[in-house]
Chain A
Amino acid sequence: MAIKKFAFIVKSLPYKTEASRLALTHAIASQTVEIYLEDGDNVEPVLAFIGDGVLNCLRNQTAMNTYGVTSLEQHIKNSLLLDLKVLICKEDVEKFGISEDALIMDAEDIGGETRANIVAFSEIMKEMDSSHHLLFF
């Protein structure tokens, strides 16, 4: 009986690569693996955006118009809808000069109750240190 913590660390730019989309899909899908595990076993995901990866969290993405693909904004909102822990690196947000208003911080429009958190990189490091598995995208 054990809970395995997985940290999905997104450091890639949002489009022209599948990396961040894969991170989001895997983090969301990790919520279903309990049906294949022994009683009491489960997976606890944390999703963190660092470096260039914080640009995945910008609001008002127009991916369908620009690239003809579904928006990562919706995937991030789905993560919040499913109560995943979503962390955005404060130092990198500041480096890009992005205000909190420009970031996807909640999914209230689709019924989500959990909010994303802008945290210092040291907090993300703590999450990584306490994770059983680190996956970089």
Chain B
Amino acid sequence: MGELSSTTPTETLDVLGRVCPYPLVLAKKAVEKLPSGGVLKILCDAPASAEDSIPRYCEKNGFKLESVRLEDKGYWELYIQKP
């Protein structure tokens, strides 16, 4: 278990069942509201968002990201920390 995924998230965003572009735009909105150092946990089952757009967004903005793929549940848990 990674550093972020082992901490209690500041906020949790459930976008299960939502497809691109909603997971990213809702994640952006949630991250904006996070305090500095806060961790957002996202539950996402959209592969394009979980594996491409959200990681790309974090990389571009310098946010720390941990991605945990839950094969048995069919979704990802993404942990984003705002600097």
Instruction: List 8 A-B pairs, Cβ < 8 Å.
Output: A31-B21, A31-B24, A31-B28, A32-B24, A32-B57, A34-B57, A35-B56, A81-B29
Since A32-B20, A82-B25 are in contact, a sample of 5 more A-B pairs with Cβ atoms closer than 8 Å, ordered by chain A residue number, is A31-B21, A81-B26, A82-B26, A82-B29, A83-B29
Chain B residues lying within 8 Å of A31, measured Cβ to Cβ, are 21, 24-25, 28
A120 CA / B51 CA spacing, docked (Å): 43
Chain A proximity of B42: nearest CB distance (Å)? 15
Chain B proximity of A23: nearest CB distance (Å)? 14
Q: Which residues of A contact B (CB under 8 A)?
A: 28-29, 31-32, 34-36, 39, 78, 81-83
Chain A residues lying within 8 Å of B26, measured Cβ to Cβ, are 81-82
**Is the contact region of chain B dominated by helix, strand, or loop, or is it mixed?**
helix
| Number of B positions contacting A (CB below 8 A) | 12
Chain A residues lying within 8 Å of B28, measured Cβ to Cβ, are 31
A72 CA / B28 CA spacing, docked (Å): 23
A-B contact count (CB 8 A): 31
Task: Decide if B73 is an interface residue (CB 8 Å cutoff).
Answer: no
Residue in A closest to B32 when the chains form the complex, CB atoms: A83
Residue in B closest to A84 when the chains form the complex, CB atoms: B25
Q: Which residues of B contact A (CB under 8 A)?
A: 20-22, 24-26, 28-29, 53, 56-57, 60
A36 CA / B21 CA spacing, docked (Å): 13
Chain B residues lying within 8 Å of A82, measured Cβ to Cβ, are 25-26, 29
Chain A residues lying within 8 Å of B57, measured Cβ to Cβ, are 32, 34-35
A117 CA / B60 CA spacing, docked (Å): 33
Q: Would you call B25 and A28 a contact (CB within 8 A)?
A: yes
With A82-B29, A83-B29 as known contacts, state yes or no: A35 contacts B60, CB within 8 Å.
yes
Q: Would you call A78 and B29 a contact (CB within 8 A)?
A: no
A35 CA / B22 CA spacing, docked (Å): 14
Chain A residues lying within 8 Å of B22, measured Cβ to Cβ, are 28, 78
Chain B proximity of A32: nearest CB distance (Å)? 4
Q: Would you call B60 and A32 a contact (CB within 8 A)?
A: no
A28 CA / B28 CA spacing, docked (Å): 13
With A35-B53, A82-B29, A83-B29 as known contacts, state yes or no: A28 contacts B60, CB within 8 Å.
no
